[in-house]
Amino acid sequence: MELYGRRRCTAILQLDRSSAPYRRSDITELVSRVVHRANVEAIGQLNNSVWEVVFRDEATKERFVGMELEVKGKRAAKRCIIEQKLLLTAYRKS
């Protein structure tokens, strides 16, 4: 999969720092509650409280991002990388 296609299918999870440290098993458990494992391409840790999840398609990512999710009893903030990039580009042009 090309890089741009992968970015379109990536969601970022911003987790509560007070509940850190997070383990990969915390994140995989969360993701498997919401979507089937076959729809997940990769899970990566950016830092202790920020994780990225790469899905196989945009529809699965959108479903995941649209749900209320909790890890260790705290709400997880979610965002899409590509939306952030487009917002930044629009801001720079104005």
Q: What is the DSSP string of 10-24?
A: EEEEE--GGG----H
Q: Is 54 helix (H, G, I), strand (E, B) or coil?
A: strand
Express each pLDDT in 47-84 by its tens digit.
Answer: 888 889 999 998 998 888 888 877 887 777 766 554 44
The pLDDT value given to residue 80: 58
Express each pLDDT in 28-48 by its tens digit.
Answer: 988 998 899 899 999 999 888
Give dist(CA 15, CA 77) in Å, integer: 6
pLDDT band at 1 (very low <50, low <70, confident <90, very high): very low
* Count of residues making up the chain: 94
Q: What is the DSSP string of 29-52?
A: HHHHHHS-GGGEEEEEEEETTEEE
CA dihedral 76, 14, 1, 8 (to 10 degrees): 80
Q: Which domains does the chain have, with CATH numbers?
A: 3-93 (3.30.70.330)
Q: Which helix (H) or strand (E) holds 35?
A: none
- The structure's pTM equals 0.73
